[in-house]
Amino acid sequence: MTRLFVVLMLACGVAHAHKPSDSYLTLLGNGASLHGQWDIALRDLEYAIGLDADGDGAITWGELRAKHAEIDAYAFARLTVRAGGEPCRLAPTAHLVDEHTDGAYAVLRFDVQCADASRSRVAVEYSLFFDLDPTHRGLLRADLGSGTQTAVLSPQRPGIELDLHKRTLLEQFGDYLREGVWHIWIGFDHILFLLSLLLPSVLVRVGGAWRPTERFGEAFWDVFKVATAFTVAHSITLSLAALSVIELPSRLVESAIAFSVVAAALNNLRPLVRGKRWLVAFGFGLIHGFGFASVLTDLGLPREALLLALVGFNVGVELGQLAIISAFLPLAFALRRRWIYRRLIFVGGSAAIAVVAGIWLVERVFDLKLGLI
């Protein structure tokens, strides 16, 4: 981390298309002494309150320093820490600048001053940028003397309670498991890829046309092979990436994930891979694993917690995936002979997925924000 009087260049647009808008919130300490650090992207602050005073497309340290008070007021109005039901005072202590993989970030350091020093739980309520960008996430990591706790905060899940008592390994495992379930449910590109592979599971290709499968067992076996291949593949790369054995640029990974969705959806409309879609699931699942791993990496987990986090998060991803499959397959099988499934859901849905993912692909490859989706 450095505190330099340099020019910090901003990319065009509100946020990089290949990486969602994130901030990184860390809480450390125990007893009555709590400290925090909050990394917030300059591009997001520029959009929210304006930092580039001369409008030259660059932010200098002087321009950023002139906005310190306004940044504090804006950010801390959207973060609440409570102990014993009473709000704690968040007192800024330092402003720094850090460089993340997706650009420059303002770093706010602060003390958390709570009247109730005997508290056993601390509640965090977060709403930064939710009114401007519903895809924004706050990546929280807390080490309050009870073991590392993590959370991904979003408009759908804006708060969490943190336990200050020593947590068992089982409780920590449960935390990571819940994060895995939550990540697959809010990972729309992962969901659309999975749905693209599931849509043909209740149909069979005969004479150049899709026909409804006769038995549920056939559809179940097809889904089992696809889901297993996807699970095995992304588990491999999730582990390798989270353990820093293999590292790939986030822009490359996110672009490849968007391409995988386009390819899977178009294969439904004009099949190039027939009968062995599990191979497609495995091949592209390797790429999706790097996407899953980015969440664990962004949370900045300590090395001693990484293995537990890896296993719990991966199990959570599988449970979230299983929930989607369990909801989809029986309904799809019941509707497979009807026009609404074969034309509207299968054909229309595949085309819509291809269009959406195609826009993502253009955004991520060319680092654009088209603003269409």
Buried b (16+ CB within 10 A) or exposed e, 204-214: beeeeebeebe
**Average pLDDT of the chain?**
86
Residue scoring higher pLDDT (370 or 222): 222
pLDDT, one tens digit per residue, over 261-277 is: 999 999 999 988 766 88
Task: Give the pTM.
Answer: 0.75
pLDDT tens digits along 100-138? 877 799 999 999 998 865 567 889 999 999 999 888 889
Q: Are strands 148-153 and 89-100 parallel, antiparallel or unpaired?
A: unpaired
**Which is higher by pLDDT, 239 or 300?**
239
Residues 8-46: b if buried by 16+ CB within 10 A, e if exposed: bebbeebbbbbbbbbbbbbbebeeeebebbbbbbbbbbb
Q: What percent of the chain has pLDDT above 90?
A: 56
Domain extent listing, the chain: 7-167, 183-366
**181 DSSP 8-state letter:** H
Nearest to 261 by CA among 353, 135, 362: 353
- Let me know how many helices (H) and strands (E) the chain has, helices first: 11, 14
Q: Is the Cβ–Cβ distance between 118 and 130 less than 8 Å?
A: no
Residue with tokens 């549920």: 216
Q: List the beta bridge partners of residue 97.
A: 2, 106
Q: Which two tokens stand for residue 169?
A: 């390994």
- What is the spatial distance between Cα 55 and Cα 14, in angstroms, rounded to a whole number? 15
Sign, CA dihedral 271-272-274-276, equals negative
Half-sphere exposure of 347 (CA within 13 A, CB side): 10
Q: Which of 148, 152, 139, 140 is nearest to 302 (CA)?
A: 148
